[in-house]
A and B are shown apart, each in its own frame.
Chain A
Amino acid sequence: MECEKIRELILDYSEGDLNQSDKLGVEKHLKECKECNIYFEQSHKVWNLLDNWHTVQINNDFIPRFWDRVTTEDRKKGNAFDFFRNLRPNLVSGGVGVIILILVVFLVNILVSHHDNIVFTEGDRSDEELLIEFDRSITKETAESLEIYGPWSDEIEENKGG
C-alpha cells in the first residue's frame, strides 16, 4: 500500500476500526516504512498532547445566571410590547376618528349640493339648447328614414292572409 493511503488508515487502525486484511496491511507497511512509522507515533503523541489543554473552571451560578438573563430579556421584551399595547388603542381611536370625519364630510357634501345651486353661464345655456335641437332633428330624421322599410306589421298580416 502507498504511504498516503496508509496514513489515511492510521486513524481507523489506532481506533481498532479496520477489517483484518487492512489491519495486517497497515501493520506490515509500518514495519517496512520508517516515515510512516514516525507519522504513526507522532500522530499518537500530538493527540495525547492535546490533553494538556485543560478545561475551564466554571462558576457554580451558571444556571441561576441563565434564568436571570431570561427574566431580564423577557422584561425588556415586555416593555417593548407595552409600548405597542399603549400605541394600539390610540391608533384605533385615531382611525375611528378619521372614518367619522370622512363620513361627516361626505354627508354634508350630499346635503348641501343641490341641482338649483348649479350655476349656468349664458354659453352653457346656448350649448344645451343646441344639443337639444340637434337631438330632436336626429330623432326625427331617423324616424322618417325608417318609414321606407315599413309598415312591417301590415305586410306580415297580409302574408298571413294570402
Chain B
Amino acid sequence: MQTFVSLSRTMESDIELMLRAKTGDDSAFTELMRRHYKGVVNYVYRFTNDRANSEDLAQEVFLRVYRSVKRYNPQAKFSTWLYKIATNLCITEVKSRNKNQTVSLDEMQENTGDLGDSKSEDPSNLTFRREIGTAIFEALKSLSERERVAIILCKYEDLPYEEVAEVIGCTIGAVKTYVHRGRMKLIEKLKTYL
C-alpha cells in the first residue's frame, strides 16, 4: 500500500504538486524542485555563463516561485511559468552585469562551466572545451534576447516550440523565425569551428 502511495506520488503532475504546495505542503515543492532544478541551473548558466553564481540565481528563481505559490493559477504548464521567471531574472542579471562589466576574460574562462572531470581529462581537450564554451556563449550573446532565449530553450532545455512561444510571449511561427535567424547568425560567428 505504501509503495502504491509513493508510486502515485511520483506520478503526480507538476500542476498537482503545485496545487499541493499551494496548500502549504513543502514536500510537494521539494519534489517540483527535484524535477526541475538541474534544468534551471543549466539554463541560468547558459544565459549568464557564470558557473559560480548560476546555482544562486536558480535558487532565486525557485524562491520567487515559492513566494508566489499562493497566487498560482494552473493555466499554463508549470515548466513554462518556471522558465518565464528564470528568463526574466536572467535578462535582468545580464543587463546589470553589462552595466558594471569588470570581469576579465581569464575570470570568465575560469567560470565557464564545469567541464567534467578536469583532473583526469586531457589538458588540451579541456582547453578546447573551455574555448568552445566561451565561443558559443559569446556567439549566443551577440543574438537578440528573443533569439537567444529561443535557441537556449529549444536546443538545451528541449522545450517544444509551443512552450517556448509561451515563455517569450509570441507565436510558434515567430519562435521558428527566431531560431532560424539565430542559426544564421551563429554560423557567421562560429564559422571557424565548423
Asked if A62 and B155 sit within 8 Å, CB to CB, the answer is no
Which residues of chain B are near A31, meaning CB under 8 Å? none
With the chains together, A28 CA to B62 CA distance in Å?
Answer: 49
Q: How far is the CB of B142 from chain A (nearest CB, A)?
A: 13
Q: Which residues of A contact B26 (CB under 8 A)?
A: 67
How far does the Cβ of B140 sit from chain A's closest Cβ, in whole Å?
9
* Beta-carbon contact of A54 and B33 below 8 Å: no
With contacts A7-B180, A7-B184, A62-B37 known, is A56 near B62, CB below 8 A?
Answer: no
Interface stretch of the complex, out of B8-16, B77-85, B97-105, B113-121: B113-121
Per a CB cutoff under 8 Å, which of A8, A49, A58 touches B136?
A49
Residues 10-60 of A contacting B (Cβ, < 8 Å): 10-12, 39, 42-43, 45-47, 49-50, 52-59
Q: Bound state CA distance, A55 and B44, in angstroms?
A: 11
Query: Which A44-85 residues have a C-beta within 8 angstroms of B?
Result: 45-47, 49-50, 52-59, 62-63, 65-67, 69-70, 73
Q: Is the CB of B186 closer than 8 A to any CB of chain A? A: yes
Q: A52 CA to B113 CA in the complex, in Å?
A: 12
Bound CA–CA A43/B176 (angstroms) = 14
Whether the Cβ atoms of A52 and B129 lie closer than 8 Å is yes
Q: A46 touching B186 by the CB < 8 A rule?
A: yes
The interface residues of chain B lying within 8 Å CB-to-CB of A62 are 33, 37, 41, 55, 58-59
**How would residues 111 to 146 of chain B score, 1 for a CB under 8 Å from any chain A CB and 0 otherwise?**
001111000000000000100110011000000000
A24 vs chain B, min Cβ distance (A):
20
Collect the chain A residues with CB atoms within 8 Å of residue B136's CB. 49-50, 52-53
Interface size on A, residues (CB 8 A): 29
Q: Which residues of chain B come closer than 8 Å to A10, judged between CB atoms?
A: 180
- Choice from A49, A54, A59 contacting B190 with Cβ under 8 Å: A49
**Which residue of chain A is the closest to B151 with respect to CB atoms?**
A50
Q: Name A's B-contacting residues (CB within 8 A).
A: 7-8, 10-12, 39, 42-43, 45-47, 49-50, 52-59, 62-63, 65-67, 69-70, 73
The 10 A-B pairs at the shortest CB distance, nearest first, are namely A57-B114, A53-B136, A52-B132, A42-B187, A45-B194, A46-B186, A53-B133, A56-B45, A55-B42, A56-B114
Q: Please report B residues at the A interface, Cβ cutoff 8 Å.
A: 26, 30, 33-34, 37-38, 41-42, 45-46, 51, 54-55, 58-59, 62-63, 66, 113-116, 129, 132-133, 136-137, 151, 155-156, 176-177, 179-180, 183-184, 186-187, 190-191, 193-194
